[in-house]
Chains A and B, each alone.
Chain A
Amino acid sequence: MSDSYEPVIVGFLCNWCSYRAADLAGTARMHYAPNMRAIRVMCSARVEPQFVFKALREGADGVLIAGCHPGECHYVEGNIKTLRRYYLLKRLVRQLGIEAERVQLCWASASEGNVLAEAVNRMTAQLRALGPLRWRQTVLSEDGEESAAAPVAVAKEV
């Protein structure tokens, strides 16, 4: 398992900057790690902390939130709110025993395909060094008690 380990990053990209940065990286044929699964959101502030925990529980090894640079938010200060939540979320992430590198934030404007690509490359390398998270299999199944009655039991053990 570990020799074929490829980190999975769930990337939440804001519609106005970072998704376009990803688009630009693609049209410019930049080569970067294919480990991020991009999800377009209207604003980085749309990313509820719930989304982050859900991604980590359901098999992601890391979550990248990307938005416009501060001062350039399409919704004036959505990204500042994202930043405030992000720093608070990071405290919870650390208390829950998840390495800080697994939840990251980056700013990439629509012209910065290279910035986004570099962030994904860097994060992929960090996650590769950390190893897989595999939350359900490792954290929740210590004594085989992920019960069939659990309302949240969705993923199968693989």
Chain B
Amino acid sequence: MAGGEKPKFAMYWAAGCGGCEISMLNIGERILAVDEAFEIVFWPCAADFKRDDVAGYPDGWIDLCLFNGAICSTENEEMAHLLRRKAKLLVAFGSCAHEGGIPALANLTTREEVLRTAFLEGPSIDNPRSLLPELHCRVPEGELEIPALKSRVRTLDQVVPVDYAIPGCPPEPPQIWAVLEAVIRGAELPPPGGTRVIGAGHLAVCEECPLAKSEKAIERFYMPHEIVPEPGICLLEQGLVCMGVATRSGCGALCPKVNMPCRGCYGLLDEVEDQGANLVAAIGSVIGAGAAGQSDEELERRIEAVIDTLPDPAGTFYRYNLARSLLHRARVAGDGAAKGGAK
């Protein structure tokens, strides 16, 4: 920044869907202010810089790097290490970099199973010769090498130290802008040290949600396509698995405001170590079945009957955060995973 030079900006896309890049562009015409304030030195989605350009930069030369996507391959890992070395501020941008995101659901199964689903068994797959990617292959021009998948998907900060995280799938444009604007203005960010969450709130989504809340006693769960919710009333009370109770605010409760249950993308709250476990606590205790005076068998039958209406609890509660959970992944040799289901 010395000598009137503009601060250097980088953005990288690892194992993610690209929604973070779109959300970045959704800050609208203020993207011009970003271009004005920063010198873009690496942003594969938007500008033509290559990995070798970055490798040639001096260490610590990039002022701000927004890193989106989880770490699922050797390539993601290499870029994480490279960008950590080159960037002063490395920010885990979005759910995948911060908590593993949707890619981390692969941690419920094995790498082999993931490859089989993606290349052989997916309903839209047309692969008559049953070809699977090979790490090395010979072509007339020489040997090609592709990155290897790691055995589990990790968050960015499980691979390199990270300064800040901006949560969300994707982060909401006003939150992105608030952070960029603070950096441009030279405002003081929270003291670094561990992964500090910026660009989000510190309360649960329920605090931002305008729906009327009262006593909850869920007699059965519904998938969003199974009911048309009553307007104006808490979705969890109506049996929709709304995860706002254990999800960080900052999105403005966008989903519940349009009658879609919160999917939990803003991630775990401060002081929480495992969002999925917290959802078990919050949603489990408002199951409206079981009362004193019933026999143990009857209690079990009644409570299990309600839980039976909630398919795939692990995939639901850990939708965005399995890599960041206490256990990180499933143990696939164990009985539940071998049978592939919760029951």
B80 (CB) vs chain A CBs: closest residue: A149
Would A87 and B327 be within 8 Å (CB), given that A48-B278, A98-B334, A99-B335 are in contact? Answer: no
Mark interface residues in A63-94 (1 if CB within 8 Å of B CB, else 0): 00000001101000100110111111101111
Is A97 in contact with B332, judged by CB distance below 8 angstroms? Answer: yes
Is A4 part of the binding interface, using a Cβ–Cβ cutoff of 8 Å? no
Docked CA distance A84–B288 (Å): 9
CB contact under 8 A between A50 and B314, given known A70-B294, A143-B150: no
A residues less than 8 Å from B292 (CB atoms)? 70-71, 73, 77, 80
Nearest A residue to B339 via CB reads A94
How near does chain A come to B133, taking the closest CB pair, in angstroms? Answer: 18
In this assembly, does A140 line the interface, its C-beta being within 8 Å of a C-beta of chain B?
yes
A52→B273 CA distance, assembly (Å)? 12
Whose C-beta in chain B lies nearest to the C-beta of A82? B285
Bound-complex Cα distance A81 to B158 (A): 34
B137 at the binding interface (Cβ < 8 Å): no
B276 to chain A, nearest CB (A): 7
Q: Could you tell me which residues of chain A, from 39 to 63, have a CB within 8 Å of some CB in chain B?
A: 45, 48-50, 52-54, 56-57
The reply on B187 being an interface residue by CB < 8 A is no
The answer, yes or no, to whether B32 is at the interface (CB within 8 Å) is no
Beta-carbon contacts under 8 Å, B284-340 to A: 284-285, 287, 289-294, 296, 299-300, 303-304, 307, 310, 312-315, 317, 325-338
A147 is an interface residue with CB less than 8 A from chain B: yes
How many residues of chain A get a CB closer than 8 Å to chain B's CBs? 44
Residue of B nearest to A133 (CB): B331
Are B327 and A84 in contact (CB-based, < 8 A)?
no
Nearest B-chain residue to A88, judged by Cβ = B284
Specify the chain A residue showing the minimal Cβ separation from B284.
A85
Residue of A48, A52, A95 with most chain B CB atoms under a 10 A cut-off: A95
Complex Cα gap A152–B328 (Å) = 10
Is A50 in contact with B277, judged by CB distance below 8 angstroms? yes
Whether A85 pairs with B280 at a CB distance below 8 angstroms is yes
Within 8 Å of chain A (Cβ to Cβ): is B154? yes
Is residue A158 contacting chain B, with contact meaning CB distance below 8 A?
no
Determine whether the beta carbon of A83 is less than 8 Å from that of B314: no
Chain B residues, CB < 8 A from A81:
284-285
Asked whether any CB of chain A lies closer than 8 Å to the CB of B34, the reply is: no
Residue interface mask B158-182, A partner, CB < 8 A = 1: 1111000000000000000000000
B314 touches A92 (CB 8 A): yes
- Decide: A94 and B336 in contact? CB cutoff 8 A: yes
A147 near B158: Cβ-Cβ < 8 Å: yes
Q: Which residues of B contact A139 (CB under 8 A)?
A: 327-329, 331
Distance A135 CA – B326 CA, assembled complex (angstroms): 11
> Could you tell me the distance in whole angstroms from the C-beta of B319 to the nearest C-beta in chain A?
13
| Distance to closest chain A CB from B177 (angstroms) | 28
Task: Give min CB distance, B256 to chain A, whole Å.
Answer: 22
Q: Is there a chain A Cβ closer than 8 Å to B281's Cβ?
A: yes
Q: Once bound together, how far apart are the Cα atoms of A15 and B272, in whole Å?
A: 25
A87 touches B300 (CB 8 A): yes
Give the CA-CA distance A91 to B277 in the complex, in Å: 12
Question: What is the bound-complex CA distance between A56 and B310, given in angstroms?
Answer: 25
User: Does A145 reach chain B (CB closer than 8 Å)?
Assistant: yes
Say yes or no: is A150 at the interface (Cβ < 8 Å to chain B).
Answer: yes
Asked if A135 and B327 make an inter-chain contact with CB atoms under 8 angstroms apart, the answer reads yes
Residues of B within 8 A of A93 (CB): 336
- Name 22 interchain pairs, CB-CB below 8 A, sorted by A: A48-B277, A48-B278, A49-B278, A50-B277, A50-B281, A53-B274, A57-B327, A70-B293, A70-B296, A71-B292, A73-B292, A87-B307, A92-B317, A94-B335, A96-B329, A96-B331, A97-B331, A97-B334, A97-B335, A140-B152, A143-B150, A143-B151
Q: A70-B292, A139-B331 are in contact. List 7 more A-B contacts (CB 8 A).
A: A49-B277, A86-B284, A91-B313, A93-B336, A135-B331, A139-B329, A140-B329
Interface residues of B (CB under 8 A from A): 108, 150-152, 154, 157-161, 194-195, 272-274, 276-278, 280-281, 283-285, 287, 289-294, 296, 299-300, 303-304, 307, 310, 312-315, 317, 325-338, 341-343
